[in-house]
Amino acid sequence: MNTTENQKSSRYVYNGAIINLRLDRAVLPNGKTASREVVEHPGGVGVLPIDENGDCLLVRQFRYPYMEETLEIPAGKRDKEGDNDPIVCGKRELKEETGAQAGDYISLGTLYPSPGYTNEVIHIYLALNLTFGESSPDEDEFINVCRMPIDRAAQMVMSGDIPDSKTQIAILKAKMLLESGKIPLTNR
């Protein structure tokens, strides 16, 4: 069965610094039309740094839409024009938020956080062989770095104490890869 929808018309109702909102009309496979609301987002990158002891670095920060602090992997958005290479963005965010740099970056894939209404794509990396320096968060970022064993982080995902989807995926994928022996903690 064909499930493809085709754009019939499109109009922007909001253009912002981070997102744009578009209202489309789409032709459905049965020939009828439907409204589609699309949030355009430049995409993001998240990095899960894990040291040679199996401890990961997470960041705790206040997230205004939820009015609460969340525990997340270091992450940030790509340039709105989309010309920012994901790995370059990931390295920048890791350094800014935690002060860490990695000798090795391993792709954990991409995810679509909410495909029903946004075109956002998040690239996820595992960072190993860490070195540490000074962090330099953006002026509007207030971040506390938390270090914990990857096993504890995975338990927090499973208990619901880490609700952020990119963080859940990064932790569980990394834990599986590390436990399988496909990726060693260190190449040194």
Residue 44 to residue 172: CA distance in whole angstroms: 19
Residue 65 to residue 187: CA distance in whole angstroms: 40
Chain position carrying tokens 């064993």: 149
Residue 52 to residue 89: CA distance in whole angstroms: 23
Q: Is 81 a catalytic residue?
A: no
Please give the structure tokens belonging to residue 105. 């970056």
Catalytic: which of 93, 139, 141, 179?
139
Q: For residue 19, give Cα distances in angstroms to 14, 15, 62, 65, 167.
A: 8, 7, 20, 14, 22
CA angle 157, 188, 126 (to 5 degrees): 30
Q: Of 136, 50, 59, give the one whose Cα is nearest residue 92.
A: 136
As annotated, the active-site residues are 139
